[in-house]
Chains A and B, each alone.
Chain A
């Protein structure tokens, strides 16, 4: 079974630009969550999508948005990039079960110059 895939793996952008990251979950998984990981703030929850609906949202500004498609693939968008947005962005998918175990993708390393 293929794992969670994320594209692109690396991105370099400049301040003020916008970026779109993509995540393809494990086949059959309907929940996709996004996290931002930085050395200073650790792993922070961005949002979760389930069946094309945002189910949970973290404490990030409105510049961060996401969506999920009918095939469960998800995208997240960051507009008006700031230097502080440089981070590893991880997505995780899970299958609805009592465990709700999350499986993480390899991440997208975003650098904002």
Chain B
């Protein structure tokens, strides 16, 4: 069964700094998702990565996928307080399989 791991699980960073969240998955995954969850709120879709080498960017967030290494990264550039949230990556073995979520990375950006 597909297993998804993230590290770090907790991340405290200063405003203006850069950092990367890593997402490893255990078997072939048809696609990779990144979500954001604010405290007490639901999940918001950030990126969907379909193919090896895919890179997507939105504002200060950039996600990439390396299917050979079974690794996706979420890079944060010049962090701001508004980015404080929990970030989840999720994979799916095949197109019609269930989506498996990682444990989440709780990000806190300190002024």
Chain A residues close to B by CB (< 8 Å): 33, 35, 42-45, 48, 55-58, 90, 92, 98-107
Are the C-beta atoms of B99 and A99 separated by less than 8 Å? no
Are the C-beta atoms of A107 and B42 separated by less than 8 Å? yes
Shortest CB–CB separation between residue B3 and chain A, in angstroms? 12
How many chain B residues touch A (Cβ–Cβ < 8 Å)? Answer: 22
Chain A contacts for B42, CB-based, 8 A: 90, 104-107
Known: A102-B45, A104-B35, A104-B43. 18 other contacts (CB 8 A): A33-B98, A42-B103, A43-B88, A45-B98, A55-B96, A56-B96, A56-B97, A56-B98, A58-B98, A90-B43, A99-B50, A100-B92, A101-B33, A102-B33, A103-B45, A104-B42, A106-B41, A107-B42
- Among B45, B98, B104, which residue has its beta carbon within 8 angstroms of that of A101? B45
Shortest CB–CB separation between residue B96 and chain A, in angstroms? 6
Given contacts A102-B45, A103-B45, A104-B42, contact A45 B50 (CB under 8 A): no
Are the C-beta atoms of B48 and A42 separated by less than 8 Å? no
- Cα of A35 to Cα of B33 in the assembled complex, Å: 16
Chain B contacts for A56, CB-based, 8 A: 96-98
28 A-B residue pairs with Cβ-Cβ distance under 8 Å, sorted by A, are A33-B98, A33-B99, A42-B104, A43-B88, A43-B101, A43-B104, A45-B98, A45-B99, A45-B100, A55-B96, A56-B96, A56-B97, A90-B42, A92-B43, A99-B31, A99-B50, A100-B48, A100-B95, A101-B45, A102-B33, A102-B99, A103-B45, A104-B43, A104-B44, A104-B45, A106-B41, A106-B42, A107-B42
What does the 1/0 interface line of B73-111 toward A look like (CB < 8 Å)? 000000000000000100010011111111110000000
Grouping DSSP codes into helix (H, G, I), strand (E, B) and loop, the A interface class, with mixed when no group exceeds half, is strand
Shortest CB–CB separation between residue A101 and chain B, in angstroms? 5
Chain A: which residue is nearest B41 at the CB level? A106
Shortest CB–CB separation between residue A47 and chain B, in angstroms? 8
Chain A contacts for B99, CB-based, 8 A: 33, 45, 102
Shortest CB–CB separation between residue A13 and chain B, in angstroms? 20
Chain A: which residue is nearest B101 at the CB level? A43
- Cα of A44 to Cα of B92 in the assembled complex, Å: 13
